[in-house]
Amino acid sequence: MHNVVIIGSGCAGNTAAIYTSRANLQPLVLMGKEVGGQLSLTTLVENFPGFPEGIDGPVLVQRMREQAEHFGTTYRNAEVTKADLSKRPFRLEIDGEEWIETRTLIVASGASARWLGLPSEQKLIGKGVSSCATCDGFFYRGKQIMVIGGGDSAMEEANFLTRFGQKVTLVHRRDEFRASKIMLDRVRANPKIEMLTNTVVDEVMDPAKDIVTGVKLRNIQTGETYERQVEGFFVAIGHIPNTRVFGNQLDLDPDGYIVSHGGARTNITGVFYAGDVQDRTYRQAITASGAGCMAAIEAERFLEHEGH
Ligand code: NAP
């Protein structure tokens, strides 16, 4: 029986692990499919306090893990396939084959990339379609690259991809951007980036050839449709919270984000949340870490109150 099981190995999960292990609770972290969370897919993190020169996302998350291991956290490369939160101890099915029990649960399972949902896009994932510039940018040296989205992720990816691509075209469905001014200004100042606004993607080509060769675009103001040659197609349109496994046990909002019941508490006593699985507003490494800390303190107090 575990005192604390933490689902997720991003900033939120790792920080919860640091705090609960330092409180001698010997937490178990189930790392999930996207090990290290979104930071492991990013490049330079310039806004995490304490690193004036910035720090690489994967390095930051790895150092958090080392810190948690130092205090006695166990990490398991495993995924939760079912959860029974109907009574305590909570029961979790791991990788579809083994059940474990825990007195408290911290859900820090984050959010996964959102896709456009075009059949052609889905067919070409890994064959020119990607949601991770850091992972796949290298493959498009000297090629034509397209990035979809109007938020900070799209700006970051577009800028990063200019290291590789001959040209990067940023496509956004509106002419206003969610991205912060500093990120948008960098994109606008980058001579290798072209911006197409009020534009949507109707199709990624060519599914028949099993590789990305171009896209069909449509200007939503004029209705004009046209094709562009593209070899790398990067989708950066936000994320979907990883809460499917909790079905109707946890209170979720219509988009699947965990609903807060105050502090880091969910609707179920003993189940806490941290990070992007609940936070659709701030979604920063530092806020996820802060939330991990809050969840850990809540779990610790709960266990103490229960006499453990
Ligand atoms: P986001 O801010 O939610 O932006 C998503 C973008 O994708 C929006 O421009 C949205 O368009 C567009 N979009 C959504 N669905 C679409 C669809 N079906 N078709 C076409 N376009 C679609 O997501 P994000 O950029 O991933 O950023 C998430 C959070 O992480 C933000 O808080 C951001 O500040 C933060 N972040 C920070 C950094 C950094 O500081 N280094 C880097 C990356 C992310 P509309 O605007 O029209 O809705």
Q: What does the domain layout of the chain look like in residue ranges?
A: 2-113+239-305, 119-235
Phi and psi, residue 256, nearest 5°: 95, 5
pLDDT of residue 288: 97
Distance CA 154, CA 170 (A): 8
Q: How sure is the predictor about 38, in pLDDT bands with cuts at 50, 70 and 90? A: confident
DSSP 166: S
Residues 212-238 have pLDDT tens digits of 999 999 999 999 999 999 999 999 998
Task: Flag whether pLDDT at 60 surpasses 90.
Answer: yes
Q: Which CATH superfamily is domain 119-235 in?
A: FAD/NAD(P)-binding domain (3.50.50.60)
Q: How far is the CA of 68 from the centre of ligand 1 (A)?
A: 31
Name the nearest CA neighbour of 37 among 280, 282, 201, 283. Answer: 283
The pLDDT value recorded for residue 218 is: 98
Q: Is the pLDDT of residue 195 over 90?
A: yes
For residue 282, pLDDT beyond 90: no
Q: 66 Cβ partners below 8 Å, 6+ apart?
A: none
Q: Mapping DSSP to helix (H, G, I), strand (E, B) and coil, where does residue 272 land?
A: strand
Q: Which fold has domain 2-113+239-305?
A: FAD/NAD(P)-binding domain (3.50.50)
55 in ligand 1 pocket by Cβ < 6 Å? no
135 flagged as catalytic: yes
- Listing DSSP states for 102-138 in one string gives EEEEEE---EEE-----HHHHHTBTTTEES-HHHHGG
- Alpha-carbon gap, residue 159 to 24, rounded angstroms: 43
Domain 2-113+239-305 and domain 119-235, same fold? Reply is yes
Residue 152 Cβ contacting ligand 1 at under 6 Å: yes
Q: Which atom of ligand 1 lies nearest, measured to the CA of 47?
A: 40
How many whole angstroms separate alpha carbon 148 and alpha carbon 234? 6
Average pLDDT on 60-87 reads 98
pTM of the predicted model over 0.85: no
Alpha helices in 178-284 (DSSP H): 181-189
72 burial via Cβ count (<10 Å: 0-12, 13-18, 19+): middle
83 Cα to the center of ligand 1, angstroms: 30
Six-digit token pair at 281? 């507003």
In this structure, are residues 274 and 295 in contact, taking their beta carbons and an 8 Å threshold? yes
Confidence check: pLDDT of 126 > 80? yes
Mean pLDDT of the chain: 95
Please state the length of the chain. Answer: 308
Decide the pairing of beta strands 129-130 and 271-273: unpaired
Q: Quick check: is 132 catalytic?
A: yes
**What residue's CA is closest to ligand 1, atom 23?**
238
Longest dimension (CA), the chain: 67
List the one residue out of 276, 284, 280, 256 whose CA is nearest residue 7: 276
State yes or no: is 279 an active-site residue.
no
Ligand 1 pocket test target in 38, 118, 157, 178 with most atoms within 8 Å of CB: 178
What confidence score (pLDDT) does residue 42 get?
72
Query: In angstroms, what is the span from residue 14 Cα to ligand 1's centroid?
Result: 24
